[in-house]
Structure 1
Amino acid sequence: MSKSNGVKRRTDSSAAAAAPQSKKLKIDPTSAKKKQKQDSESSEEIEESKDDAEGSKQDVFPKEGMSSKEAHAEQKRLAQQRKAAKPNADSVYRSKKIWEKLRIKSSVSKEERGKLVEELFGIITGRVKDFVFKHDSVRVIQCALKYATAAQKKGIAQELRGSYKDLAESKYAKFLVAKIVMIGNEERDAVVEEFYGHVRRLIRHPEAGWIVDDIYRGIATKEQKARLLREWYGPDFVIMNVDGPVTADLSQILEGQPAKRGPIMTHLKEVTNQLVQKKSTGFTMLHDALLQYFINCKPGSPEHGEFLDMLKDDEEGDLFKNLAFTKDGSRLVCLALAYGNAKDRRTIIKHFKTHIKALAGDVHGCRVLLTAYEVIDDTVMTAKAIFTELLNKDMDQTGREEELLAQATHLTARIALLWPMSASPPKWLTTDAETSILAEIREIRKETSKKEPEKRRTELVEAMSQPLLDLIASQAASLAGSSFGCQFITEVLFGASGDKSSALAAVAGLVEDESVGVEAAYVGRMLKSLVQGGPFDKATNSIIPVEPGLDFDNLLYQQIVAKGQEAIVSWASGANSFTVLAMLESSTFKHGDELIAVLRAHGSEMDAGKPGARLIMEKIGQGDGDKAAKKGKEKEKKEEKKEEEKEEKKEEKKEEKKEEKKEEKKEEKKEEKKEKKKRASKSVFKGKFDGQAAEAVGGLCWLELTISPVGSEVTVHGSEVTVHGSEVTVHGSEVTVHGSKVTVHGATAAGLKDDRHGMLELSSMQDCVLVPGITV
């Protein structure tokens, strides 16, 4: 049920499928689910048979005079009676009938399924807890969750609040918890919070352990993971309320509470050792806890040595096999290899026999192989234990090439093949996390390994080069079909030892193979690098030539020129122009004069508008080339002008649309004013104030009012208005109203600053008197 909380850099389902199938190693989720289904079905049959057996003891009936058929029918009748006598028997029976229909997708239409789901929810709503703890009815709730709406799912989750810990411990209901945490963040938080304070007991529970760990690994937030892991450090961390950010980093905790180091480390060792002894070594939470313990042990101390002994005492190697496939677990294996002696390293690597390719293809497991390359001094043992399986040496040629081709073009699996090829592997090969771990390992090996790193690397390259060179020689076209394959060819030809002539000839022969797109950018980069004769060093801004030289520039030129001079011109002015430029700049190129002569003779045919072609023409110093370059620049300027004109036209269109929208808004405002006038014309006030309330016809009326200084008349559209029962005074531009409510633009006018002209809404007809019949 694991779910990823973001996008990982790389995934590897094929490697996961090939990972070791130990008792607790969760590598094949499909087979695990099938086994769980079989177990649940068989257990259900066992329980039902137990019920029948118990019932048969209680409900004794005379068998005398009955045939076996009659006796069986009577026994069946009594069993049904016992089931009917159980609580909610009718509801469970009806819901199971609905479930039997819903579980077969092909036989139920969408409309019918909707009706069945509504009927099912009519039965279970308010009684979900009565269903979830029974082996047969819990399936009904799982089915209801599958087809429920978002609101219905939340309703089920709400009913089950307070029971999640018990559900996780149930043999059948634990799968329901896995579904509930997927509903949403609120439900996930509710489930995880019920686990707080019970982690140590739950992780050791045969049913709850895997559910808790799955939630920890794939669903929980960073803070929730920290809270769950902290409970491994002792009882204090179960009840302690943390102010501010929560951390599970044991180093930070011990730094803040150095006096508690002894109890924390003792408790953590006890909890982890219990699980290791029980062979429950597949938990990611256990791997994280083991790493936290180990990195807080002082190297060379007794607790450091005892911990390594605990890891090695697992004779079957399940612990190491499980550790290698998780993030913190793989780091722990790497540290164990780095700190271990020669015997320890040999023992650890032997545990991975038959699982080497699975390690190479796993995003975490590959770090273990790279660490083995970096620290094991016995390269003969490394070649035998790792390369035999990694390079498929036990297969026939066809099978070996197929496997190696798949590994060479795989984002993760290729790392183990290419890492030894260079003392400073390219940055694109590994992630920052892997680089950081290996930098840590290289510091440790200064004290724990004896052989010089470069000598160790050279011996590894000698042991693995030939199968890789043979692969390039026979599968050059297939490798050149992808960017990963081109990178593989380049790194192997630069770093491998031995006879490279067949491989180089095969790569140069790609020019003749029409199935290969030599104009592809990644193919061009590969050819250019091989023509240059070595990798580019950014630090010195120069090429580091390979020894002995590849002589690929001459090989490639012969292949191109064999197709005619037109092919040379096409390459020089096309997508591979920088490859031709690299030939002209190469110190080992033997056909420089010939190439320059051809290019000068066909200079007019070259497209100097392209950067590579322009640099070539400058390189050969052709006068016409300068003109062509100018033409190319002029052509570029014209294209730029065209683009600018297009952009200007787009801007003009945008402005025109804006103006049109403004005009439309103006027209809309005019129409609104007309409508207001029409509505205002319908608001007629009748009568004259004489102590009685005046009558309004047509609703409230907005009056345009001009306020004059005190003592002057207040005029409304030329008519006199007298205010009774209300005192209106004017202070500069302030209007104060006493004894009556008057609003200006929807706000009370008392104390409101006015510009001596505004709209008054008469909230009470006692505010003023209008001349009869005046229309405002």
Structure 2
Amino acid sequence: MAPKNQQSNKTNKRKHVPAAKPDAPDRPTSKRPKLAAPKRSGPPTATKRSDKPFKPKFQKSEPDTVKKAPLSKRERRINAKELAEARKKKRKPYYELEHELSSLWEKMRHRNIKKEDRSKLVTEALQKMRGQISEIAGSHISSRVLQTCVKYCSQAEKDAVFEELQPHFLTLAGNTYAVHVVKKMLDNASKTQLAGFISSLHGHVASLLRQKVGSIVIEHAYGLANATQKQELVMELYSAELQLFKDLVSLKESRLVDVISKLNLQKASVLRHMNKVVQPILEKGIVDHSIIHRVLMEYFSIADQPSATDVIQQLSSPLLIRMIESKDGSRIAMLCVKHGSAKERKKIIKGMKGLIGKIAHDHGGSLVLVCIVSTVDDTKLITKVVIREIRKILKELVFDKNGRLPLLQLLHPNCSRYFSPDDLTSLNLSIPSLSAKGESEAKSSKNEKSNKTDTKDDTDTEVTEVEGNENTSGDELHLVEGGKKDPFLRRQELLVNSGLAEGLIDICIESAGELLRSNFGKEVIYEVATGGSDGILHPTLDDKLNTLHAEIASLAAKSSEESEEEHVLKNFHSSRAIRKLVLDCPTFACTLWKKALKGKCELWAKDHSCKVICAFLESSDSKVRGLAKKELQLLIDAGIIKIPETKHSANEG
């Protein structure tokens, strides 16, 4: 028997030796009986396994044929084009016709084509379109072909196209592409055809004005129509009766207040109808058309205070800038400035930011700027938005007929020499319902007699001119509505304190000769040289004004041979401007005499320069007359200078 330690070592060695796996289990395995498969109702299935290898369910099988090569960009583009054409053929019934017309159009629209060849192409295209013109006019492509055909075809062909399109004009007027064809047809229409078209619009004017496309057709027809036809288009916007009954439209009265009194219409019902017409148009922002401007002016003439205030609030935005190109549109803008609140005026002025130059060059826009500088008390805002942009283009504005008006308004307000009667009428308009309180206060302060007071009905209110214009003296008028600030103080802050006057004098010194010879610039340099109305440039800018006087005198002192341009004393415009300065500005007259005319009067005693010399004797200042009397008297005695008897007798008196 082995020792105990030896047995333990043997056992340890056995533990580390891995046992070999037996090939088969020691115990016998008993086979379980196979269960019988359930019977299926159907054809027997094969129980044998297929020899094909197993494939996953979603694995793509290898193609039997070789893969097709990818299409090139050109082939893909051609396939897409063919597919698009096939779809267009299914969708458009006139696809083939449009294709033929477009090929003809490419030939007829060239500039270098002969007239005979073009007329043949136009005739061929019109023959292809015959009977289908109304459908073709609404297409993006074929409508352009039709426009070209109408432009170059004969009058007989134009009449044929007009007759075919006439029953469909109302439908085509709302189409984005057909609207251009309709406008082209109206441009080439005869008076009878235009009258027929305007007559067919009766009852549909308000609905078309609410559409962006339809309103273009109405505005185009309104621009081509005569005064009677314009009245027909506008009248049905006033009331439902005028919209329904066509016979009432043919009235001679053009103003709404006259129409109301003539037909005995109720003012409240007219106001409600116009409110239904105006509000959708304003909400959609369709305010570019002159017919809408006229309707708004008539609306203001009868509107009560809440209605007028509501419309002013809607218009007091950048939307108003799109209206000032027309006469009525600029008047509406001025009414909004006059009767708007401080907040609304601020919106209007801020909406002009960056557009002052464009606005100033337009006549209606320049009048709006004149109204702003004459009415709005917030001079800091005007200086920041308006004056700052004016200073950038100041030299350009002084030579422009319209651009100089705001400058002249600040130098000499409401002067009839620079503003036409129609301009002064526009500047003095007001809304009756919003200015009634001020008018009643003015009437009560005057203590008029009871037998002289005029009784007014509600139907007699209208947008009127300023009352009391007859009482104004001289050539100045005063606005009805305005700010609370003193007008002279407002002008001083805008003209002098802002630095505008200093820049204006510098430009006058720099371009004195050019301004004097200019038809419009001479008036600006005259007002600057005289110091403006009420001496607004004195005494702050006296030194610069003296420099300007010296510059004009130095130009007059030059001989005719020294300057290439016509001499300032011989030029038609400059001679009249200098003569006027001699009569109205004694300081300038003394400077001119000492530097340019003393001892040389005989040289200038002919042509236009003679009027400048005679102005020294016609001056109301005794000092000016005394300077030239001795030298000019010799010329008068010699018969070289003749002074009119009326002026001579007035000076003697």
Whole-Å Cα distance in 2 between the matches of residues 598 and 310 of structure 1? 68
Q: Does the CA-based 8 Å contact 2:589-2:624 persist in structure 1?
A: no
Whole-Å Cα distance in 1 between the matches of residues 122 and 315 of structure 2? 51
Whole-Å Cα distance in 2 between the matches of residues 433 and 170 of structure 1? 39
Q: In the TM superposition, what is the alpha-carbon distance from 1:418 to its structure 2 partner?
A: 0.3
| Runs of 5+ unmatched residues, structure 2 | 1-66, 431-465, 468-477
Q: In structure 2, what is the equivalent of residue 330 of structure 1? A: 330
Other structure's SS at 1:134 match: coil
Deviations 1:284-334 (A, max 9, x none): 333322222222124xx333433333334xxxx232222333322222222
What's the TM-score once normalised by structure 2's chain length? 0.71
Q: In structure 2, what is the equivalent of residue 431 of structure 1? A: 420
Stretch moving more, 381-390 or 69-78: 69-78
Q: In structure 1, what is the equivalent of residue 460 of structure 2? A: none
Q: In structure 1, what is the equivalent of residue 578 of structure 2? A: 527
Deviations 1:626-681 (A, max 9, x none): xxxxxxxxxxxxxxxxxxxxxxxxxxxxxxxxxxxxxxxxxxxxxxxxxxxxxxxx
Q: In the TM superposition, what is the alpha-carbon distance from 1:353 to its structure 2 partner?
A: 2.1
Letter of the 1:569 counterpart: E
Q: In the TM superposition, what is the alpha-carbon distance from 1:210 to its structure 2 partner?
A: 2.2
Whole-Å Cα distance in 2 between the matches of residues 232 and 109 of structure 1? 48
Matched, 1:476 2:512: yes
Q: In structure 1, what is the equivalent of residue 309 of structure 2? A: 305
Q: Does the CA-based 8 Å contact 2:169-2:182 persist in structure 1?
A: yes
Whole-Å Cα distance in 2 between the matches of residues 271 and 615 of structure 1? 61
Letter of the 1:326 counterpart: S
Report the CA distance shift for 1:156/1:407 in structure 2 as closer, same or farther (over 3 A). Answer: same
Q: In structure 1, what is the equivalent of residue 394 of structure 2? A: 404
Q: In structure 2, what is the equivalent of residue 220 of structure 1? A: 225
Q: In structure 2, what is the equivalent of residue 252 of structure 1? A: 258
Q: In structure 1, what is the equivalent of residue 409 of structure 2? A: 419
Q: Does the CA-based 8 Å contact 1:311-1:319 persist in structure 2?
A: yes
Q: In the TM superposition, what is the alpha-carbon distance from 1:414 to its structure 2 partner?
A: 1.1
Q: In the TM superposition, what is the alpha-carbon distance from 1:144 to its structure 2 partner?
A: 0.5
Whole-Å Cα distance in 2 between the matches of residues 509 and 74 of structure 1? 81
Q: Does the CA-based 8 Å contact 2:173-2:213 persist in structure 1?
A: yes
Other structure's SS at 1:223 match: helix
Matched, 1:554 2:590: yes
Q: In the TM superposition, what is the alpha-carbon distance from 1:618 to its structure 2 partner?
A: 11
Other structure's SS at 2:592 match: helix
Q: In the TM superposition, what is the alpha-carbon distance from 1:277 to its structure 2 partner?
A: 2.1
Report the CA distance shift for 1:101/1:586 in structure 2 as closer, same or farther (over 3 A). Answer: same
Q: In the TM superposition, what is the alpha-carbon distance from 1:526 to its structure 2 partner?
A: 0.7
Report the CA distance shift for 1:422/1:103 in structure 2 as closer, same or farther (over 3 A). Answer: same
Letter of the 1:116 counterpart: L
Q: Does the CA-based 8 Å contact 2:522-2:574 persist in structure 1?
A: yes
Q: Does the CA-based 8 Å contact 2:242-2:249 persist in structure 1?
A: no
Matched, 1:450 2:484: yes
Equivalent of 2:299 in 259, 273, 293: 293
Matched, 1:492 2:504: no
Letter of the 2:329 counterpart: G
Q: In structure 1, what is the equivalent of residue 605 of structure 2? A: 572
Q: In structure 1, what is the equivalent of residue 550 of structure 2? A: 505
Equivalent of 1:462 in 493, 496, 521: 496
Other structure's SS at 1:192 match: helix
Report the CA distance shift for 1:344/1:258 in structure 2 as closer, same or farther (over 3 A). Answer: farther
Q: Does the CA-based 8 Å contact 2:356-2:390 persist in structure 1?
A: yes
Q: Does the CA-based 8 Å contact 1:165-1:195 persist in structure 2?
A: yes
Whole-Å Cα distance in 2 between the matches of residues 374 and 449 of structure 1? 8
Q: In the TM superposition, what is the alpha-carbon distance from 1:557 to its structure 2 partner?
A: 1.8
Report the CA distance shift for 1:615/1:561 in structure 2 as closer, same or farther (over 3 A). Answer: farther
Letter of the 1:430 counterpart: F
Correspondence 1:259-278 to 2 at 5 A: 260-278=266-284
Q: In structure 1, what is the equivalent of residue 162 of structure 2? A: 157
- Aligned pair count? 519
Letter of the 1:342 counterpart: A
Letter of the 2:124 counterpart: E
Q: In the TM superposition, what is the alpha-carbon distance from 1:162 to its structure 2 partner?
A: 1.2
Report the CA distance shift for 1:121/1:243 in structure 2 as closer, same or farther (over 3 A). Answer: closer
Q: Does the CA-based 8 Å contact 1:490-1:530 persist in structure 2?
A: yes
Q: Does the CA-based 8 Å contact 2:374-2:482 persist in structure 1?
A: no
Q: In structure 1, what is the equivalent of residue 614 of structure 2? A: 581
Q: In structure 1, what is the equivalent of residue 195 of structure 2? A: 189
Equivalent of 2:148 in 120, 131, 143: 143
Q: In structure 1, what is the equivalent of residue 567 of structure 2? A: 517
Q: In structure 2, what is the equivalent of residue 724 of structure 1? A: none
Whole-Å Cα distance in 2 between the matches of residues 378 and 75 of structure 1? 64
Whole-Å Cα distance in 2 between the matches of residues 613 and 474 of structure 1? 36
Whole-Å Cα distance in 2 between the matches of residues 591 and 146 of structure 1? 68
Letter of the 1:278 counterpart: K
Other structure's SS at 2:512 match: helix
Letter of the 2:617 counterpart: L
Whole-Å Cα distance in 1 between the matches of residues 108 and 552 of structure 2? 59
Q: Does the CA-based 8 Å contact 1:331-1:437 persist in structure 2?
A: yes
Whole-Å Cα distance in 1 between the matches of residues 339 and 486 of structure 2? 17
Report the CA distance shift for 1:447/1:507 in structure 2 as closer, same or farther (over 3 A). Answer: closer
Q: Does the CA-based 8 Å contact 2:579-2:612 persist in structure 1?
A: yes
Other structure's SS at 1:466 match: helix
Letter of the 1:180 counterpart: M
Whole-Å Cα distance in 1 between the matches of residues 374 and 79 of structure 2? 75
Correspondence 1:324-723 to 2 at 5 A: 324-392=324-392, 403-427=393-417, 429-440=418-429, 449-463=483-497, 464-494=500-530, 495=532, 497=537, 498-499=541-542, 500-511=545-556, 512=558, 514=563, 515-518=565-568, 519-534=570-585, 550-561=586-597, 565=599, 567-586=600-619, 588=621, 595=628, 598-599=631-632, 608=640, 611=642
Report the CA distance shift for 1:431/1:594 in structure 2 as closer, same or farther (over 3 A). Answer: closer
Whole-Å Cα distance in 2 between the matches of residues 297 and 178 of structure 1? 34
Whole-Å Cα distance in 2 between the matches of residues 234 and 619 of structure 1? 62
Q: In structure 1, what is the equivalent of residue 208 of structure 2? A: 202
Whole-Å Cα distance in 2 between the matches of residues 194 and 337 of structure 1? 38
Whole-Å Cα distance in 1 between the matches of residues 98 and 639 of structure 2? 80
Whole-Å Cα distance in 2 between the matches of residues 592 and 77 of structure 1? 94
Q: Does the CA-based 8 Å contact 2:581-2:588 persist in structure 1?
A: yes
Whole-Å Cα distance in 2 between the matches of residues 273 and 602 of structure 1? 73
Report the CA distance shift for 1:404/1:243 in structure 2 as closer, same or farther (over 3 A). Answer: closer
Whole-Å Cα distance in 1 between the matches of residues 141 and 594 of structure 2? 76
Report the CA distance shift for 1:578/1:239 in structure 2 as closer, same or farther (over 3 A). Answer: same
Whole-Å Cα distance in 2 between the matches of residues 336 and 553 of structure 1? 44
Letter of the 2:552 counterpart: V
Q: In the TM superposition, what is the alpha-carbon distance from 1:176 to its structure 2 partner?
A: 0.6
Q: In the TM superposition, what is the alpha-carbon distance from 1:364 to its structure 2 partner?
A: 1.4
Equivalent of 2:242 in 233, 237, 241: 237
Deviations 1:436-464 (A, max 9, x none): 12233566965764334445445544344
Report the CA distance shift for 1:73/1:597 in structure 2 as closer, same or farther (over 3 A). Answer: closer
Report the CA distance shift for 1:426/1:620 in structure 2 as closer, same or farther (over 3 A). Answer: closer
Q: In the TM superposition, what is the alpha-carbon distance from 1:73 to its structure 2 partner?
A: 5.6
Deviations 1:197-230 (A, max 9, x none): 11222122242222222332x2222222222223
What's the TM-score once normalised by structure 1's chain length? 0.60
Q: In structure 2, what is the equivalent of residue 718 of structure 1? A: none
Other structure's SS at 2:567 match: coil
Q: Does the CA-based 8 Å contact 1:572-1:612 persist in structure 2?
A: no
Whole-Å Cα distance in 2 between the matches of residues 323 and 620 of structure 1? 52
Q: In the TM superposition, what is the alpha-carbon distance from 1:598 to its structure 2 partner?
A: 4.6
Other structure's SS at 2:177 match: coil
Q: Does the CA-based 8 Å contact 1:168-1:208 persist in structure 2?
A: yes
More strand by percentage: 1
Other structure's SS at 1:551 match: helix
Other structure's SS at 2:237 match: helix
Percent sequence identity over aligned pairs: 25
Stretch moving more, 163-172 or 516-525: 516-525
Report the CA distance shift for 1:88/1:325 in structure 2 as closer, same or farther (over 3 A). Answer: closer
